[in-house]
Structure 1
Amino acid sequence: MKLSSKTFKDGSLIPGRCGFCVQAPRGHVRLSQNLNPHLAWSGAPAGTRSFVLTVIDADAPTKPDDVNQEGREVPADLPRAEFVHWLMVDIPADVTEIAEGSGSNGVTVKGKSAPSGPAGARQGVNDYTGWFAGDAGMAGTYLGYDGPCPPWNDARVHHYTFTIHATDLDQAKVKGAYTLAELRKALDGHVLASASIRGRYNLNARMRVK
């Protein structure tokens, strides 16, 4: 299989319009357009019944102590963990493309309750659900795509892996606001082929990233 995007090239920077936040002229960051990137895939094997999409940042800090703190920086060598940005199951087998901005266009405070997507597809929770849990103004269930917003003082550039899985499932055995852990369990033994591309994103003004 092959996965590609008109929005960004594999290994390149994800454009700011696809971020949850961008660098601000004053201060540190501001909300962005939060457009989902364009994605297109081909070469699914015979027997494919549906596709599953995941978007995961593998560079999320494991300790919050220095995150977005004035006069401090998140060390590059700090152990990292996954942060989920998009989960989608039951994408019909005849769908091979998602247009930029078709699933997310703007930041929805408290999260999108019914994100748009291919007919029949179901979208899971992303990790902004947990990130904003203690914020009265932003707390909610964040479904579908929400773009990059790494700490503005992180010394490490974040990498976002977009993966499309061809499966033999008519419907994935997940319910409601499902999580990545639940999805991985449901996919065990049902993935026929996969393809990935990776983009980078940075909000640390001290770092000049190209």
Structure 2
Amino acid sequence: MRRTITATTLILVLNAMPILATDLQVTFEKSGKGRTLPAENASCIAAGGKEAAGNNRSPALSWSKGPAGTRSYALVMTDPDVPRDLSLLNKDGTVIARDAARMEFTHWMLANIPTAVTRLAEGADGDGQQQGGLPLENTKHGRRGQNGFAAFLKDGPYGGYMGACPPWNDLRIHRYRVTVYALDTGRLMLPDAFTRADFLAAAKGHILASGAAELTYTINAKALK
């Protein structure tokens, strides 16, 4: 027998369907003019047309509560605007064009963040310049992964936050994007020194929701023109 679906029946069916999780709302609690990263959160600042060491304080962040079933969070901060040709960085007599080839670079990573944590105070995972970065260890706000400097610098573990430091000769304004993930597991299986690639592989099939926020930063005055 053919069943006729009335408008009332359709409404009842739709109301009974599970609601899919919306994206997390991620917020930088401080920003500069035009949604820029504050200088105190950068690892280098402008100085005489080049650069000087910055305060390198991890930014204050907050995010909305994950959907039902969330057992942990993870956080990744990346810069998708790093020049692919690293030989051009901070080179006298060289200008890096806005349309030069780019790659993504990881500045900060935390996994296994407890569900009770939906805010990180400024400086919570990095405050000041530290040779080799912070230890790769569990903290009260999550387990530290390696930032991108570990791939080509061998003087430390490079855990914790490493702030913005775009080349002083780059004409592109860099974007700094924080993505927070809500996961259905309290503990991802990760190697001792895990990278962003390791995290994404371990998190596959466990992500219930995610959200991102972005600020920009440059130390090249010519990039603002």
Kindly indicate whether residue 110 of structure 2 is the aligned counterpart of residue 96 of structure 1: no
Give 2:147's aligned residue.
Answer: 126
Moved over 3 A (4+): 114-117
**TM-score, normalising length from structure 2?**
0.84
Give 1:136's aligned residue.
Answer: none
Aligned residue pairs, count: 202
Matches within 5 A, 1:4-83: 4-8=27-31, 12-24=35-47, 26=48, 28-83=50-105
Moved more, 109-118 or 39-48: 109-118
Contact 2:172–2:223, Cα closer than 8 Å, also in 1 = no
Moved more, 98-107 or 122-131: 122-131
Cα RMSD after superposing both structures: 1.9
CA change 1:14–1:76 in 2 (3 A) is same
Give 2:158's aligned residue.
Answer: 142
Q: Hey, what's the Cα distance between the residues in 2 that align with 1:17 and 1:115?
A: 25
Give 2:211's aligned residue.
Answer: 195
Percent identical among aligned pairs is 34
- Helix, strand or coil: the match of 2:40? helix
Give 2:185's aligned residue.
Answer: 169
Contact 2:56–2:128, Cα closer than 8 Å, also in 1 = yes
Q: Deviations over 1:142-193 (max 9, x none)?
A: 1011100011101111111101100001101112110011100001010000
Q: Hey, what's the Cα distance between the residues in 2 that align with 1:115 and 1:37?
A: 20
Candidates 173, 179, 186, aligned match of 1:157 = 173
Structure number with bigger Rg: 2
- Helix, strand or coil: the match of 1:65? helix
Moved more, 123-132 or 31-40: 123-132
Gaps of 5+ in 1: 134-138
Candidates 13, 18, 25, aligned match of 1:2 = 25
Q: Hey, what's the Cα distance between the residues in 1 that align with 2:107 and 2:98?
A: 21
Q: Hey, what's the Cα distance between the residues in 2 that align with 1:91 and 1:190?
A: 14
Gaps of 5+ in 2: 1-23
Q: Hey, what's the Cα distance between the residues in 2 that align with 1:116 and 1:76?
A: 39
Give 1:85's aligned residue.
Answer: 107
Give 2:13's aligned residue.
Answer: none
Q: Which amino acid aligns with 2:201?
A: K
- Helix, strand or coil: the match of 2:222? coil
Q: Which amino acid aligns with 1:123?
A: R
Q: Which amino acid aligns with 1:153?
A: N
- Helix, strand or coil: the match of 1:207? helix
Q: Which amino acid aligns with 1:203?
A: I
Q: Which amino acid aligns with 1:99?
A: A
Contact 1:103–1:117, Cα closer than 8 Å, also in 2 = no
Q: Hey, what's the Cα distance between the residues in 1 that align with 2:140 and 2:30?
A: 19
